[in-house]
A and B are shown apart, each in its own frame.
Chain A
Amino acid sequence: MTDRRRINGPPSGTRPAVFAPSLKSASSISTGRPRRQRQPNELRKIFLKTGLIPSASGSAYLEFEPSASLAASRSSPQSLIPPSSALKLACTVHGPKPLPRSASFSPNLVLTTHIKYAPFAARQRKGHIRDASERDLGVHLETALRGVIVAERWPKSGLDITITILEAEDDRWWGDAPDSHDAPWGMMNVLAGCITAASAAIADARIDCLDLVAGGVAAIVSDEPAEGESSSPKLMLDTDPAEHKSILSACVVAYMPSRDEITEIWLKGDHSKASLGTDDKTLGHEALIDGAVNAARGAHTVLTEAVKESAERFAGLMLGGNTA
């Protein structure tokens, strides 16, 4: 059944372009994998700005700094295949607004979250209708935010949070076979970005929260060993999946630093096999959660700056409105 409300392409469908290097055997192109240039505990820079969408009660735009390989390919383009990608998303908050008449009574603020990838966001073209992974991300975001918002202040009200992902993170390096990584690891980075951006947008909409919640990602990766290094799995913060040969497990948390609380945790992969060195007594998953919390702390500093900026803008608006 074709979608009659949209303009559909050719009825027989189209195929994504096949590039010549991807037809070669995997071993011959494995040298092209981008390498992580950051320290294991170093995060990518985050650009976060609030109030870019004036018709919404609160909004935020978030962008991750392109990794070194992507920045290099942008400044001096050689290949049309991008080595990795950097998250770009826009978040809007509409509300609190009265619930529709048909809705049943709710003593609390009713939170709805929508996450949608733009069709051009990922390496594979996305459909116009939300798929299962997008709904899944929406549910994760909702649980992350539900624990933060003081919901009982707005009975009989609704709050819509909409996130449009303009560019997503890669799930794996393009040169790897599609089945080489079992899980869509890029989703975890996307969720962390969504949590941070949504938190900024909620603060921009001036909705009472317990704290600013920030998202962070940590992963246990095992890379091809460089010279003179052991190939034991390592803990890395804010991993770009394109830069790693295999990610054993990853964890994303939504963390409130001043209360030291986690509102959402999503841990994926097998961390039992990963031993982080003999001197490290902590268990794999504990190290992973600690790493994700540290990453969230880093994102929180950016978040505070953005919210401070939003508050200053609001104060200026109030002042300007009174004198005019």
Chain B
Amino acid sequence: MASTAPSLTLPPSQFARLQPHAYLLAHLSPPASSNQPSIRANGRAPAQFRVTSANTGSLTHTNGSAVVRVGDTTAVCGVRAEILPTDDIASWSVSHTSSRTTNKRQKLANSDSEEQQEEEDPNDKSHIQDLNLLVPNLSLSTGCAPGFIPGAPPSALAQSLSHQILNLLHSTRLVRAEDLRVWYQPPSLGGESLERHNAEEQMDVDDEGTGKEDDGEKAEVKAFWVLYIDVMIVSLAGNPFDAAWAAVLAALRDTKLPKASWDVDNEIVVCSDKVSEARKLALRGLPVASSFGVFEADAAAGWRAVIVPDAEEERLIEEGARKGIQRRWVLADPDGYEEGLSQERACVVVDKKQGKTVIVKMEKNGGWALDGQALKEVVEISARRWEEVKSILEQC
């Protein structure tokens, strides 16, 4: 056939470029006679994610690092910890001088090991959020895709992704504030020497120190660790958020903070360089992000205004569904090609606690195709994805 009309045949790759919508639709809804399953242009089933791999700890100058590849999208994340002395925090002495008593400190130390008691720490959220202890930034100007000009300020997409990561870090309370605190326990001096110590202190006119010094046994926070979480999207082929979040998660799981202590003589925080004394972050849970795109058979769907379908339209769709004609597909982990064709997006972040699926974040925009029923299915797919990602992260 092709030999009689050679001018009409196109290789699939060119057809995909000329008629992207028709190309994907033809893959998803093959003629009933052909007995082929509905499959995406990239060979995946609608609910199938791309092959994911992760590797951690390969970057020398980071406290924790990870490379996550989701298909052709590659994200590199490096976590660098730096010190924020409380002396540098402008409002610290005003708002936080009521340092904890020792038994409170003890309780906090105990609650570290106990998952159940984690809500004991009231300052957890406020410290991490108010003091900006987590600083995630995502960069797309790495030549990852032709559209992003290197050297230009971060694009709207990059800014939005950075903020999504920050919000998710805050709302999941992934990092414990206790892990980021550097405590100092003043030596408990005898009565005589304490007096002398106080006298010295007053001579120094150290307006910050005097308030605390009258009780030498009180432990106080001398500094915080600030985690700079930088994500470089090295290669972009759709769905950057899932890859970036997985990289952040893997890097934080890999992060080791050195043992830090307050050096009274030099008045700086000194870290021990011994690997045996460094400790890993104790993260809360393992939230995994899964993104979806909705592909509609009606090519004009993307152009019309988003309106709630009227009864007539709804009836037509239901009728079509009864006849076995599918008009919409929810595509998991859309690649760059599919992202351009789907107007409606959804992102679900789930975690599993004691076998129960917990929805940490749900975001959906751009259309009305995903209703309650479809969202339930999406969450189920995300829960399956959670198992998959968990095993990948635990292997690396």
- A-side residues, CB < 8 A to B, are 5-21, 23, 52-56, 59, 70, 77-82, 85-86, 88, 90-92, 94, 97, 114, 116, 118-123, 125, 128, 130, 160-164, 166-167, 321-322, 324
Chain B residues whose CB sits within 8 angstroms of the CB of A119 once the complex forms: 78, 80, 137, 228, 230
Chain B residues whose CB sits within 8 angstroms of the CB of A81 once the complex forms: 273
CA distance A7 to B150 in the complex (A): 19
B273 to chain A, nearest CB (A): 4
Q: Are A55 and B132 in contact (CB under 8 A)?
A: no
Confirm or deny: B89 has a beta carbon within 8 angstroms of a beta carbon on chain A: yes
Chain B residues whose CB sits within 8 angstroms of the CB of A53 once the complex forms: 72, 74, 143-144, 234-235
Q: Are A19 and B270 in contact (CB under 8 A)?
A: yes
Q: Are A116 and B142 in contact (CB under 8 A)?
A: yes
Residue of A10, A78, A161, A321 with most chain B CB atoms under a 10 A cut-off: A10
Q: Are B150 and A160 in contact (CB under 8 A)?
A: yes
CA distance A120 to B228 in the complex (A): 9
CA distance A10 to B87 in the complex (A): 13
Known pairs A90-B234, A119-B80; A6 contacts B162 (CB<8 A):
yes
Q: Are A167 and B59 in contact (CB under 8 A)?
A: yes
CA distance A97 to B141 in the complex (A): 18
CA distance A119 to B79 in the complex (A): 10
Number of A-B contacts (CB under 8 A): 190
Chain B residues whose CB sits within 8 angstroms of the CB of A82 once the complex forms: 60-61
Q: Are B12 and A20 in contact (CB under 8 A)?
A: no
Confirm or deny: B65 has a beta carbon within 8 angstroms of a beta carbon on chain A: yes
Chain B residues whose CB sits within 8 angstroms of the CB of A90 once the complex forms: 142-143, 234
Chain A residues whose CB sits within 8 angstroms of the CB of B65 once the complex forms: 120
Other than the given A7-B136, A20-B273, 5 more pairs (CB < 8 A) read A55-B144, A92-B144, A114-B151, A164-B232, A321-B13
* The one of A21, A120, A322 that contacts B273, using a Cβ cutoff of 8 Å: A21
B248 to chain A, nearest CB (A): 13
CA distance A86 to B58 in the complex (A): 10
CA distance A109 to B235 in the complex (A): 25
Q: Are B137 and A7 in contact (CB under 8 A)?
A: yes
Q: Label chain A's interface by main secondary structure.
A: loop
Q: Determine the residue in chain A with the shortest Cβ distance to B162.
A: A7
CA distance A167 to B72 in the complex (A): 22
Near A by CB (< 8 A), chain B positions 131-158 give: 131-133, 135-137, 139, 141-146, 150-151, 153-154
Q: Are A18 and B271 in contact (CB under 8 A)?
A: yes
CA distance A123 to B132 in the complex (A): 22
Chain B residues whose CB sits within 8 angstroms of the CB of A23 once the complex forms: 266, 270
Q: Determine the residue in chain A with the shortest Cβ distance to B230.
A: A119
Chain B residues whose CB sits within 8 angstroms of the CB of A114 once the complex forms: 143, 150-151
Chain B residues whose CB sits within 8 angstroms of the CB of A70 once the complex forms: 60
Confirm or deny: B187 has a beta carbon within 8 angstroms of a beta carbon on chain A: no
Chain B residues whose CB sits within 8 angstroms of the CB of A118 once the complex forms: 76, 78, 139, 230, 232
Chain A residues whose CB sits within 8 angstroms of the CB of B143 once the complex forms: 53, 56, 59, 90-92, 94, 114, 160-164
Near A by CB (< 8 A), chain B positions 227-244 give: 228, 230, 232, 234-237
Q: Determine the residue in chain B with the shortest Cβ distance to A19.
A: B273
Near A by CB (< 8 A), chain B positions 215-268 give: 226, 228, 230, 232, 234-237, 256, 258, 260, 266, 268
Q: Determine the residue in chain A with the shortest Cβ distance to B130.
A: A10
Chain A residues whose CB sits within 8 angstroms of the CB of B137 once the complex forms: 6-7, 119, 128
Q: Which 6 residue pairs of A and B lie closest in terms of their CB atoms, listed nearest first?
A: A162-B143, A120-B78, A92-B143, A14-B82, A114-B150, A53-B235
A74 to chain B, nearest CB (A): 8
Residue of A85, A166, A167 with most chain B CB atoms under a 10 A cut-off: A166
Confirm or deny: B81 has a beta carbon within 8 angstroms of a beta carbon on chain A: yes
CA distance A93 to B94 in the complex (A): 53
CA distance A123 to B133 in the complex (A): 20
CA distance A193 to B12 in the complex (A): 38
* The one of A15, A121, A164 that contacts B82, using a Cβ cutoff of 8 Å: A15
Q: Determine the residue in chain B with the shortest Cβ distance to A66.
A: B60
CA distance A10 to B128 in the complex (A): 11
Chain A residues whose CB sits within 8 angstroms of the CB of B166 once the complex forms: 7
CA distance A301 to B116 in the complex (A): 59
Confirm or deny: B274 has a beta carbon within 8 angstroms of a beta carbon on chain A: yes
Q: Are A5 and B89 in contact (CB under 8 A)?
A: no
CA distance A81 to B271 in the complex (A): 11
Q: Are A5 and B159 in contact (CB under 8 A)?
A: yes
Q: Are B89 and A12 in contact (CB under 8 A)?
A: yes
CA distance A86 to B60 in the complex (A): 8
Q: Are A56 and B270 in contact (CB under 8 A)?
A: no
CA distance A116 to B149 in the complex (A): 13
Q: Are B62 and A128 in contact (CB under 8 A)?
A: no
B378 to chain A, nearest CB (A): 27
Chain A residues whose CB sits within 8 angstroms of the CB of B58 once the complex forms: 88
Confirm or deny: B191 has a beta carbon within 8 angstroms of a beta carbon on chain A: no
Confirm or deny: B275 has a beta carbon within 8 angstroms of a beta carbon on chain A: yes
1/0 per residue B266-284: CB within 8 Å of A?
Answer: 1011111111001000000
Q: Are A9 and B228 in contact (CB under 8 A)?
A: yes
Q: Determine the residue in chain A with the shortest Cβ distance to B257.
A: A17
Chain A residues whose CB sits within 8 angstroms of the CB of B133 once the complex forms: 10
Known pairs A79-B273, A167-B60; A5 contacts B76 (CB<8 A):
no
Q: Are B234 and A9 in contact (CB under 8 A)?
A: no
CA distance A7 to B165 in the complex (A): 11
Confirm or deny: B336 has a beta carbon within 8 angstroms of a beta carbon on chain A: yes
Q: Are A324 and B12 in contact (CB under 8 A)?
A: yes
Chain A residues whose CB sits within 8 angstroms of the CB of B232 once the complex forms: 118, 164, 166
Residue of B143, B151, B270 with most chain A CB atoms under a 10 A cut-off: B143
Q: Are A52 and B235 in contact (CB under 8 A)?
A: yes
Q: Determine the residue in chain A with the shortest Cβ distance to B268.
A: A18
* The one of A11, A12, A19 that contacts B271, using a Cβ cutoff of 8 Å: A19
Q: Are A85 and B61 in contact (CB under 8 A)?
A: yes
A32 to chain B, nearest CB (A): 11
Chain B residues whose CB sits within 8 angstroms of the CB of A120 once the complex forms: 59, 61-62, 65, 78-80, 228, 230
CA distance A220 to B72 in the complex (A): 43
